[in-house]
Structure 1
Amino acid sequence: MTEGRFPSSQAWLGRAQCVIPGAHHLSGRVLTTPERSPMYIERGFGCRITDVDGHEYIDYLMAFGAFLLGYADPEVDAAAREELERGSLLSMNRPQHVLFAEALVAQFDAADMAVVLKTGSEATTAALRIARRATGRRRVARAGYHGWHDWCLPLENSVPAGLDAQVLEFNANDPHSLEALFSVFPGEISGVILAPEMVLPPTRERFQALQDLTHRHGALFILDEVKTAFRTAPGSVQARFELKPDLTTVSKGLSNGWPIAAVVGRRDVMNSAAGMHLSGTFHGDTAAMAAALTTLRIVRERDVAGHVWALGQRLIDGLNAIVREFDVPALSYGEPFPPMPFLRFDHPDSQVNDAMRTVFYEAMLERGVLLHPRHMWFISHAHQRDDIDTTLEHARSAMRIASQHCRAT
């Protein structure tokens, strides 16, 4: 990639170093190096974004999955603007709060009630608080990324000591690791929270085994569908595999970029949240609720899940064909399903592997395709078959460069 390709991004980064710790927000972390990545984006529409230096990209990150329909969807944003004109955050309850909760629980067979929040991190934290009160137990078991709150980072020196004794990690692909936790802490674990992308390959039997094990020990099974909900026909991982989680967390694709999240669950469990302090000033914002209701309608009417599944599978199959063509140690797969694809390089030499990965992803950026080298990607309804085919055409060129680099080293 040509040095000096991003002068405006570099200028903004220099200003940011003076006023933002670390010089960028967490979700804006550098893709490869600050000099060779588009650090600042000017605008986005559909599945394309344009950086501050004028380069356009087919975007497969979609704001880390927040845009299921595509950037700046006119119907979704119009619904939110209509609420804004009425006053989207008023001093007391609104009828829209009830309407939204009714619509949301209708999306999940195992849900009767909902608590509405703003972010996925809030939702997962609230779900565990509800589980503790419902069971009278304090410890929790987890598998996956669940946000940035203290309990998600129990070993960091910036959070209170002792959280690692309360928040226990297990391997989602090894039920025995969860069984071992229940054996060490009998009657103490309130809930097991699982991010579906941790179960690979994703099968009903694997999920059901974890849910059954959790229930045998009197704990609540919490499915963290912040990333996965509404991307998979018939609507969620739990629907696909006929699971009955006690609690479910949702966000990201729910509202196509408008900030909203929720915990939904069984009535007897959710009643434990009555009177619990889960209040946030902006939780009652009805503009985001209007955006979510419109998003859910579009997802249902236009088979969004079917569209993103088909295109994700096309991208995965195409990338794997290119990998075989150039005999590169890499694999494309869904994490856990095709709407959330990824490409992993697997060279046994870590230095060679890192170099190959960097060469490939920088070559894709130079060709106008934004892929994240360390995070799952997301297909949106705005992506079309031509976008996938263009991406694969560029991927063939980029993989040729990566394979040559591998052989040279």
Structure 2
Amino acid sequence: MRKNLTTLLTAVLLVTSAGIFAQTAGVGIDTTTPNSTLDVNGKLGVTDIDGLQAPRLTRAQLSAKGDALYGASQKGALIYITDISAGDNTGPRVNINDVGYYYFDGTIWQKLINNFSNLYNADGTLTSKRTVTQNGKDLKFVNQQTTTINNSVGLGIVQDSGTGTRSSMGFSNGGNYSLFIYCDTNSESQISATGNSTGLSIGTGFTNSPTGINFVTTPVAGANGSAQVSIEPNGDTFFVKNVGVGYSTTTFAPGEKLKVSGSITTATTTYPDYVFDKYYNGKSLLNSKYKFLNIYDTEKFIKENNHLPGVTSINDLAKTENGLYSFNLSELSTQTLEKVEELYLHVIKQQAQIDAQKEQINKLLDLTQKLQIKIKSRK
């Protein structure tokens, strides 16, 4: 009896010293007026250790309890796993793979707070769709670092007014935005240099292999686009279709590939003035290899070669993939002017011969008239 009394007194003293107060509304620790089933007040002393500790055990210790010990009656039980180096994570312990708090949901142990990835220092994976409402606030990525987006990404901003959706991306190197990429519903997509930009460069660079640029268009709705303009790695540029220069819009005749409204300027290393230089001075520094042929040698050359001397033969012209002849327009222009100048020289020489013959004819006519007069006078 004395032993039991001693035990009871000890329990009362412990409860009293701990500040536990039982009320009909609940149990209070360090409070006489608990506001819930269990209400714990912290202590004010700077050396008092406050906190509430759940039962602590290792995963091995929990595994040793088996799979059937906890059931529906233990739903809501809270524990803290201190070590996971042993034991298993099968059955009701399937989620116990980290140190931390777990609660029993009546079937399995669940993490009290699932592990989450801190965007600023850890990687993570979205498990469902997420929407961030900026609510009039800016979302900025600053500092001179690299931001990488792999695979496909959609950036959409619903317009504040009007209809449709505008997808846009702006870039700034301090101050106002300098570059915008826009894509409006049922409208043109745009790349626009703005703000303090002094130009807009589009190109390739620092690639692992030589890289060009293709400009692709879709001539038929719903069809895949095809390259219409290609810039090769070395800078060569090819147009698949027709080209108009100086026109805001125009139509092309069948087979017409280039239309120019205005003059065309080309550069060449020589000019056919060497024809006159050679003819009158005996040599020309413009083209030391040039040789002026007289009309008889020209005729002979034409008969033997079926083309004018100094003009590219049709046999030397390249052909396109469509079987059409391809020639150098600047070269042909120079050759044509060369032949025109030669023709003028032949005409000038011919005119000189005509004038000389005319003078001789006039002299003969004058002599004939005089002879006729003498003959008549003798009769």
Bin of the TM-score, shorter chain as denominator length: under 0.3
Taking structure 2 as the reference length, the TM-score comes to 0.15
Greater strand share, 1 or 2? 2
Give the number of the structure with larger relative contact order, counting CA–CA contacts within 8 Å between residues 6 or more apart: 1
Taking structure 1 as the reference length, the TM-score comes to 0.14
Greater helix share, 1 or 2? 1
